[in-house]
Amino acid sequence: MIQIKNIHKYFRTKEKVLHALQGINLTIEAGKVFGIIGRSGAGKSTLIRMINLLERPDEGEVIIDGTDITKLSDGELRRLRQQIGMVFQHFNLLNSRTVLDNVIYPMRIAGVDKATRKARALELLKLVGLEDHIHKYPRQLSGGQKQRVGIARALTMDPKILLCDEATSALDPETTQSVLALLNEINRTLGITIVLITHSMDVIRNICDQVAVIDGGKIVEQGEVVEVFLHPQHDTTLALLSESGVDADGWKLFVHDIQGDVIRLTYHGQAAAEPLLSQISQELGLSLSIFQGAVGKIKDTPFGQLVIVVNYPEGKSIEETQQKMQTFFKEKNVDVEVLQA
C-alpha cells in the first residue's frame, strides 16, 4: 500500500515561490491501477515522482508498506527504488544499445550476473511482444515498440510498483490502446501496483480502478473510476470529461426545444445489458426519446448514461406514474436524476 500524507512541495526562484503541491493526501491500494489526471502544470508529474523520491517533499510523508521512505538512508533508498519501476513519456532509451542491451542495463548496474540478466531480459521482451526485435536499435522501432522496451526495462528488478509518467501521451490512439492493454495484462498477471499520470479521461476509463483529479496542486476529486466518471462533482472533472467527448450537460443546448420531463439515467454492471427503456415504456405507457447518451466500458465494467425525455400517458396520474418509474429504476440499480420537469 502507498500512502501520501499531507504532502507539500515548493519550487523557489529569485522572483517567486511556487506552491506546487498543497496538502496532498492519497491512499493507493496494493495491486490496483491508480490514475492521477490533470492538465499541464497541475502538479501530477511532481506528485508521481514523490513515490520514488525523485522529488522530495518539503512537508509530509510518503509511506510504502508501512515505512516512511522520506526517512530512509541513501543506501536504503537505492534498494527501495529497485522495487519501483518507472516508464517515461519519451522512452529514455539508450540509442547506442540494442533492445536487449537496453533491458539488460538496469540489471548490470544492480550487479546481477550475466546469465541471469540475459535470461530475465529475454523473458520480459517475450512478455511485451518484442522477442523478434532484440537485436534492433531504438531508431529502428516504432513509438509503441519503444514504449514496450521501456516497460520491459522497468520490470527487470521484479518491482512491486510501476510508475507511468504520461506513458502514452507521445503515441497515436491505436498504439495507446495496445500499450494500455499490455499494462492491464501486467497488472492482472503479475499483481503489480500501477500508478499512472495522464491528461486523458479515456486512459483513465480504459485501465484504472481508482482515480484522483489534481488541479492547481490540490486533489479536487478522487474515488473509484466508475463513480467519478459517472457522477463527477468538481468543475475540473466535468471539464476533463467534456474534453474527452463526455459532455454531461450537452442537452442544455436544446433545452428550449424539449417538451416533457428530462431525466438522466446512470447505470453500470448487469443493468447495462437489460432493455430498460423498452420495459418501462411498455409497462407504464410512457413515450420516451433518448436525447443524449453514452454506453461503453469503464475498464471491465459496462456502463450507460442516458438523458431521456419522458412524456406521460393521458388519463393517468402523472405523480403516480412518476413514482412507479422511480421504483422500477431503483429495483434495477439505476440512478435517476430529474434534470428538468
Tell me what pLDDT residue 313 has: 87
Q: Residue 25's domain spans which residues?
A: 2-243
Tell me what pLDDT residue 249 has: 66
| 123-141 tens-digit pLDDT | 999 999 999 999 999 999 9
Give the CATH number for residue 8. Answer: 3.40.50.300
Residues 155 and 8 in one domain: yes
DSSP state, residue 253 = G
Tell me what pLDDT residue 183 has: 94
- Write a three-state SS string for 13-63: CCCCEEEEEEEEEEEECCCCEEEEECCCCCCHHHHHCCCCCCCCCCEEEEE
Residues 23 and 111 in one domain: yes
For residue 259, the SS3 value is coil
When divided into structural domains, the chain yields a total of 2
| 292-316 tens-digit pLDDT | 887 888 888 888 888 888 888 887 8
- What's the pLDDT band for 250 if we cut at 50, 70, 90? low
Residues 158 and 290 in one domain: no
Q: What is the dihedral of CA 46, 50, 52, 58, to 10 degrees?
A: 120
Residues 163 and 17 in one domain: yes
Residues 222 and 259 in one domain: no
Spatial CA neighbour of 188 closest among 107, 127, 266: 127
Residues 153 and 203 in one domain: yes
Residues 290 and 165 in one domain: no
- What's the pLDDT band for 13 if we cut at 50, 70, 90? confident
Residues 138 and 220 in one domain: yes
| 142-177 tens-digit pLDDT | 999 999 999 999 999 999 999 999 888 888 888 999
pTM, two decimal places: 0.87
Residues 211 and 303 in one domain: no
Residues 255 and 239 in one domain: no
Helices 99-109 and 143-154 cross at an angle (nearest 10°) of 20
Mean pLDDT score, 209-224? 96
Q: Which of 218, 243, 268 is the last residue of a domain?
A: 243
CB 215: neighbour CB atoms within 10 A? Answer: 21
Give the CATH number for residue 257. Answer: 3.30.70.260
